[in-house]
Structure 1
Amino acid sequence: MAQSKKLEAWQSGPVDGVPALLQPVAHALLQAREEVHTLMEGFPEELLWEQPAGVASVGFHLQHLKGVIERLFTYARGEQLSEEQLSNLRAEGKPADDKAYPVQDLVRNFDRQVDQALEQLRRTDEASLTDFRGVGRAQLPSTVLGLLFHAAEHTMRHVGQLLVTIKVLQRKEQA
């Protein structure tokens, strides 16, 4: 009897309520969430902030995954970043002195951000996708679609980097 291989998010059909043109963004975010859960299962807390060969830590990637989605989706709404978002950006990659960041808390924070992003995708009018959106203080030119697509692409890029960092750390632990 052949084992059935789990389908990737994009192979599972449309995401309910998400406009057709935004399905690739939704699928990438759902795929990222699934891969993060798989990668972080049983990950040892003591390795969370290790930086093998000077690369970004697993903790950084988990914080950044949440943060990049939040920031780019904020710009896609036509808003600027809040002071709290800017503070969180500056804190990425640094364990807080006043509180611990257990692995599962970081994963849950990412999950919540993906859920919020999916809700925003459901509320996004396809007619607005080419609307101008200025990014940051310099108001760098983008569009709603450009920001949403970049959020998905950037998220998947960091999931790949997270995978490599975890593999290096696991190899180091085995040595």
Structure 2
Amino acid sequence: MLSDKLLILVDGNFVYQGQTNNIPIYGEQITYYVGSQFPYLCINFGLLLFYSNQSLQSKLILITYLTLAFIMFFTTMLVIGTLSFWLINMWPLRSAVNACYLILGGLSFPLTFLGKGIYKWLQFNPFSLVADVPARMVTHLINDSTPYFIAVSSWLIITLLIYRILIKVGIKKYEGIGI
């Protein structure tokens, strides 16, 4: 697997994933996740660049946005994952996250179908920022992407802070159970 072979630079030395005791757990987790998704990311970005009829500037803005949204959504999922310090069964959360992604992300139907009042409140949720906004960017329905960059950056900072707090509190509470 590519993520197992992914080299990263730590203190001037290259180390393999799994040997990164010198960097925080967040850095190791995102490295592993990017490594596991790397072939798909390359294919999708390649298709986007090759088949899109947008200007180079629009393509660069979209790729930058997608990268930020990717990191933000990864961090959001890490926050949900850290709930395992307090919850015994995590599998019910999977269905709840999928439902939020389908409904709040605009995958089941475009969020604009809900009316302007409701859409105004839903357009900046993390699920919408990962699914609905990129689709609207590609189809030229968004002229100014600045508010979305601000929203993604804000959610990224918020989820990083929540993640750090949950890890600190959760590690103190953690009790290993098993054989």
TM-score above 0.5: no
**Bigger relative contact order (CA 8 A; separation at least 6):** 1
TM band (smaller chain): 0.3 to 0.5
Higher helix proportion, which one?
Answer: 2
TM-score (norm 2): 0.43
Larger Rg: 2
TM-score (norm 1): 0.43
